[in-house]
Amino acid sequence: MILRLLRLLAVCALLAVRAPAAEIADTFHADKLAQMDAAITLAIADGRCPGGVLWLERDGAAFRKSFGARAVEPEREAMTEDTIFDAASLTKVIATTTSVMQFIERGQFTLDTHVSEILAEFRGAGKEAITVRHLLTHTSGLPPTSSSTGGGISVSLAWNTMAPSTASAITV
C-alpha cells in the first residue's frame, strides 16, 4: 500500500518536472525515475536522511528534483536543486585509499610505514610513531584540526614535500 502510494507520488512528481515531458521520456526511463524517487522518499520517511537531490544528465537533457530538507537544525530548511553538498567524507574512500593502495602495489611503502618517512615535515609532538595505517583508520591520535592550527597536514604540504620519485609515480 505504501509502496503504491510512493509510486503514485513519484509519477505525479515526474509530471511536475520543468524539462519538457517529451525530452524526459526520450532520454530517461520513467519507471527508473519513479523507482529512484520512491527510494529517496522512503529513505526520508524512514529517517535515514533528511533530504536529497536527484540530478541526472544525459544527451543534453536534464532531470532535477529536490526532496525533503537540507537542514533540520536550528530550523528546518527545504532542500533546493542548487544545494551544495560537502563530499569531504568521500575523499578518503575514493581518492586517498586508492592512491595509498597504488603506492603499496608499487612497493613504495606499506601500511606500516611511518608517515615521517614519506613526509619529513611530519615530525615532532610524537608524530614519528604514526603510520599510514593509523591515518587511514583514524587511530593516529591526531586532533581533527587543519594544518593552519597545527594539528594536521595540508594537501599542498604533502604534495610539495614528497620525494620526487614518489610524486612522479602518481597517476590519475
Q: Each residue of 38-54: pLDDT tens digit?
A: 999 999 999 999 999 99
Give yes or no: 154 in active site: no
> Residues 135-162: pLDDT tens digits?
888 899 887 654 444 444 444 444 444 4
Confidence of residue 17 (pLDDT cuts 50, 70, 90): very low
User: What is the strand order of the sheet 51-58 is part of?
Assistant: 51-58, 61-71, 77-78
- Residue-level pLDDT at 162: 46
- Choose, from 66, 89, 154, 156, the residue flagged as catalytic: 89
User: Are 50 and 44 within 8 A, CB to CB?
Assistant: yes
Q: Is 141 left (phi over 0), alpha (psi -120 to 50) or beta?
A: left
pTM of the predicted structure, to 2 decimals: 0.44
More confident residue, 70 or 84: 70
C-alpha cell at 4: 503504491
Closest CA to 7 of 38, 30, 29, 33: 38
